[in-house]
A and B are shown apart, each in its own frame.
Chain A
């Protein structure tokens, strides 16, 4: 089974609108971390936001927030007030305590912000 599933290959959003990028995960480890990374066309991986499995509140970082629904095993990224510079690939990733050596990445969602 896939550890991380991103079902939206491509998304479009109007500038200044909010957009939600979906991510579901699969793990039996009670302790894990969920991460979102942005990969612009230049190719580097930029860390956006982190959510721990024991965190009670949803993580927020500026215009980014993570809608963490533990029972549903989902960790959707919400970008508010989209900007043209938000156009990029977005990857959801997970680390588990028991297999903490690696990140498991989803296949990514390509976001295009329309002016």
Chain B
């Protein structure tokens, strides 16, 4: 019973490059959430997706960031033209439902370093 999978675990990009972060939810989970954790801080919500739909992207920066969760395959968080301030840990979580009682199961995170 595999948990939430994220890859890569570590990603190094130069300023101006693109970063692609992948997340495969737990089996049977159709709700995916992305969070960002800056150094010495808690996790901050970025986006909530269901299959083929972005439900809530209120935490996403307006530019350079996009997310998708296609019908087949993992959810992708894409950061274009990365800058040093994008260096952070990016966590994906999945949930079987939207109700408040459902915990979110977190992946191990992708640590992005922008040089």
Contacts and interface: CB of A to CB of B under 8 A. Distances in A.
Interface of A: 4, 31-33, 35, 37, 43-45, 47, 50, 52-53, 91, 93, 95-97, 100-108
Contact of A103 (B45, B89, B107): B45
Nearest to A32: B100
Interface string B90-115: 01010000111111111111010000
A47 to B, nearest CB: 6
B58 to A, nearest CB: 8
Contacts of B69: none
Interface of B: 33, 35, 41-45, 48, 55-56, 59, 89, 91, 93, 98-109, 111
A96 B100 contact: yes
A111 to B, nearest CB: 15
A43 B89 contact: yes
30 contacts: A33-B100, A33-B101, A35-B103, A43-B89, A44-B107, A44-B108, A44-B109, A45-B43, A45-B91, A45-B93, A45-B106, A45-B109, A50-B103, A96-B100, A97-B100, A101-B33, A101-B55, A101-B56, A101-B98, A102-B45, A102-B56, A102-B59, A103-B35, A103-B104, A104-B45, A105-B35, A105-B43, A107-B41, A107-B42, A108-B42
